Amino acid sequence: MKDGSFWNKKVECLPEKELRKLQLERLQKIVSYVYERVPHYRKKFEEAGVKPEDIKSLEDVRKLPFTTKEDLFVDYPYGLLAVPKEEIVRVHTSSGTTGKPKAIFFTKNDIELGAELIARCLVMTGTTRGDVLQNSMTYGLFTGAFVMHYGAEKVGVFVVPAGPGNTERQLELMQLFGTTCVHMTPSYALYVASLIAERGIRDRLNLKRAYLGAEPYSEETRRKIEEMLGIDVYNCYGLSEMGGPGVGFECPAKDGLHIWEDAYLIEVVNPQTGEPVEDGEVGELVITSLCREAMPLIRYRTRDLTRVIPEPCSCGRTHKRISRMLGRADDMFIVKGVNIFPQQIESVLMGIKGVAQNYQIVLEGYNDFLVRVEIEKEFFDGRIERLLQLKEEITEKLRDEIQVRPKVELVEPGTLPVSEGKAKRVIDKRKL
């Protein structure tokens, strides 16, 4: 029997000091491992003038060169393979924007590792034997469905491998097998939820929770789905390069995603300079896989923006939390030499009374930029002074946050493009 809502309480609650010690041991081991086995890594380390024995503390990870997407295409597809080909039991690919898909290989142990991490995620959110998980992610080259599937089976969960789409059949399956949990993308979950509401069939379903990932989504979207279905929604984060979902997962506190630090070493860096940012500051997530065998990656640049939540979590797990994904590093822009993320602007705006959901950033030059902000209908009371005060408040608070004073324009509610997944928040009018 597993202990309460923990799959592996010993590891999940490992005291900080022991966790760091374990990470260092594993880091040292994996660095020697790739140095010995992967010619491309050996070459990269030699170019950077670093040897495995130089890694004496966790901070020393910074001496190692980053791995980028481009490295995955060197001697493609086996360039970063660290085991003989016979050890590979599976490949997953990730659709790159470049055309060629990234190929990520798994050994038997890698499959087992993925399942172990997912098992922790499921059990910590209350899913266990007797639950019915409808897995509505794509089964195939994409990692999402398979890794979740193996993890759920490991726990002893009844898995319905529904795959995505065919919503009619999804609803039938939910009713037929009494589905208690679903695993899908947030955009699809919104659609399914609205259909359930429209048909008025919520009472015939046994749904308790949803695991939503593979796309970034906002806290508002989570709440909306939770309210529509009366369920708990948990955010999960993963990427094929790190073995798929289960890298980061929310616990019942729903306040950030725990990274399983016995398996992954994370850093958050300034996407421009690669230098570490302070804990709590937004930057690019960089991950080193500590336990993967087939294709461990050292300091992999995810291009995903997040920040570390330094405070200990109320759930008792010692593994570090990160915030939900705040966007892509590629969204960053520079004004007056200062790096600015749209997310910084968003978090300031959402904290100001009178500001509505939508905003737009317009880059007009290299020394200034414009933020167009929709005001809330109810905020307007006919007084222009109040609007001027709001404009001043927005300008000052943004300047405090980003150190650059933007031009602020107040616009009528409903006039800016609505945020739907990838709303275009930044309009770049600059010509190079």
* Interface with other proteins (CB under 8 A), residue from 169, 204, 377, 430: 377
91 is a contact residue toward other proteins (CB under 8 A): no
* Interface with other proteins (CB under 8 A), residue from 47, 382, 418, 431: 382
Residue 120 CA to chain centroid, in angstroms? 17
Contacts of 421 (CB under 8 A, 6+ apart): 187, 215, 216, 217
- Restricting to residues 394-423, which ones interact with other proteins according to CB under 8 A? 409-415
Sheet holding 407-411, edge to edge: 407-411, 369-375, 355-363, 426-428
User: Which of 249, 287, 316 minimizes the C-alpha distance to 10?
Assistant: 316
388 is a contact residue toward other proteins (CB under 8 A): yes
Would you say 16 or 412 has its CB closer to other proteins? 412
Would you say 322 or 410 has its CB closer to other proteins? 410
Would you say 103 or 375 has its CB closer to other proteins? 375
381 is a contact residue toward other proteins (CB under 8 A): yes
389 is a contact residue toward other proteins (CB under 8 A): no
387 is a contact residue toward other proteins (CB under 8 A): yes
84 is a contact residue toward other proteins (CB under 8 A): no
- Restricting to residues 135-194, which ones interact with other proteins according to CB under 8 A? none
Would you say 176 or 388 has its CB closer to other proteins? 388
State the nearest-atom distance from the C-beta of 408 to other proteins, in Å: 9
* Interface with other proteins (CB under 8 A), residue from 380, 395, 397, 423: 380
112 is a contact residue toward other proteins (CB under 8 A): no
Query: Which residue has 């910084």 as its token pair?
Result: 344
48 in Cβ contact with 55 (< 8 Å): no
Contact letters (x/-) for other proteins, 337-376, by CB under 8 A? --------------------------------------x-
Q: Which two tokens stand for residue 164?
A: 């995505």
96 in Cβ contact with 69 (< 8 Å): yes
Residues that bind other proteins (CB under 8 A): 375, 377, 380-385, 387-388, 409-415
